[in-house]
Amino acid sequence: MRASRLVQLLLLLQTRSRMTAGELAEELEVSVRTVHRDVEALSEAGVPIYADRGPHGGIRLVDGYRTRLTGMTPDEAEALFLSGLPGPAAELGLGTVVTAARLKVLAALPPELRTRASRLVERFHLDASGWFQAGEPVPHLPVLSEAVWETQRVAIDYERGDRTVQRRVEPLGLVLKAGVWYLVAATEGSIRTYRIGRVSAASMLDERFDRPDGFDLATWWAESSAAYERETPRIEVTVRIQPDRISRLRSAVGDRAVDAAEDLFVDDPVGWRHLRLRLDWPAEAPGLLLSVGPELEVIEPVEVRDRLVAIARATLDRYGPPGEADRAT
């Protein structure tokens, strides 16, 4: 336990240059006294570490000192190599960079950890995209990524339904959600989200900008996602369904809607289950429920039943009365 803490202390000082004993104690979740003992132990072991006294003092390493990754635990080594997503990295233009970095880390690992990391890569693969989804083309992602990194404004053309709009935005971050890339950017006094697959043109402007004070991408995304889910229009629908078609219902409306459904425990004459579902986007609900097939019946509300019947009749009209196709041939 102490060996792991000493390595963590070293890495903290490497990345932050100088820290007070109190800051180190908070990061390591130990007492200030323990930090001083650890610093003394590292110094006795030959690590060039020292403490400056005074109001602007702190604990630091001699300039230029670097430790190797020999303190990495087996679990940490495996997690590092499992975390690589080659597809998204390539889309960002970083595919070869990620590969080179992983090779360098692998070379620095002790033999036993190198073996475990290599075996993990051989046996586990992360695929961030969903089934039956072709990769969304994102040709402008590298430009947007560079603009985020360089804090430079970007001019974009953005497809919004039946029209294209031009926007000058201040890119604050990129988010990969379920295989889809999003740009979080400030524009016209607010922060908005743009689906990068809908960006039809992007060019960096020779204009830098200041990031909003205290802006944290992960926190903003979590709050924005929660607000989006709260504000999504929903409709409550009561259905009866043949029990062995529940899996088909899941495919149509999603696992979350089925798992959250209320089971009404009605004594159905043929043993069908009665469920009360809450579905997002009311206009889409009839079509989704119709896709389950004749083994599902919508009981209420009546407007969903009527819309479902209208879709079914329009489909029949499209193909004509039964037998008409045979007579035509």
Q: What is the pLDDT of residues 126-145, one digit of tens each?
A: 666 666 666 678 899 989 99
Q: Does domain 141-230 have CATH number 2.30.30.520?
A: yes
User: Which H or E element spans position 208?
Assistant: strand 199-208
User: 95-108 and 74-82 helices cross at what angle (nearest 10)?
Assistant: 170
Share of the chain above pLDDT 90, in %: 48
8 A C-beta contact, residue 285 and residue 279: yes
pLDDT tens digits, one per residue of 81-137: 666 666 666 666 666 556 666 666 666 666 666 677 777 667 766 666 666 666 678
Q: Higher-confidence residue: 120 or 216?
A: 216
Evaluate if residue 212 carries a pLDDT over 80.
yes
Predicted confidence at residue 102, as pLDDT, reads: 66
Q: Which amino acid is at 252?
A: A
Taking 3-state DSSP, the helix, strand and coil percentages for the chain, each rounded to the nearest 5, stand at: 50, 25, 30
Residue with tokens 């607000």: 227
| SS3 of residue 260 by DSSP | coil
More confident call, 115 vs 183: 183
Written as six digits, the tokens of 310 are 């209208």
| Stretch 56-72: mean pLDDT | 71
Q: What's the pTM?
A: 0.58
CB under 8 Å to 177, separation ≥6 — which residues? none
Q: Give residue 314's pLDDT band: very low, low, confident or very high (50, 70, 90).
A: very high
Better pLDDT: 189 or 327: 189
Q: In what order do the strands lie in the sheet with 262-263?
A: 262-263, 273-280, 234-241, 296-300
In angstroms, what CA-CA distances link 119 with 72, 82, 83, 128, 328? 17, 11, 14, 21, 63
Average pLDDT over every residue of 233-245: 96
- In the predicted structure, residue 296 carries a pLDDT above the cut 90: yes
Can you give the residue ranges of every domain in the chain? 2-61, 69-123, 141-230, 234-319
**Do the two domains 2-61 and 234-319 of this chain adopt the same fold?**
no
Question: Which carries the bigger pLDDT value, residue 92 or residue 233?
Answer: 233
Tell whether domain 234-319 is in CATH 3.30.70: yes
CA atoms of 156 and 149, how far apart (whole Å): 17
CATH level 2 (architecture), domain 2-61: Orthogonal Bundle (1.10)
| Confidence at residue 299, expressed as pLDDT on a 0 to 100 scale | 97
Q: b/e string for 283-306 if b means 16 or more Cβ within 10 A?
A: eebbebbbebeeebbbbeeeebbe
Other CB atoms within a 10 A radius of the CB of residue 243 amount to 10
SS3 229: helix
- Give the per-residue pLDDT at 8: 79
Residue 193 has pLDDT above 90, yes or no: yes
pLDDT averaged over every residue in the chain? 84
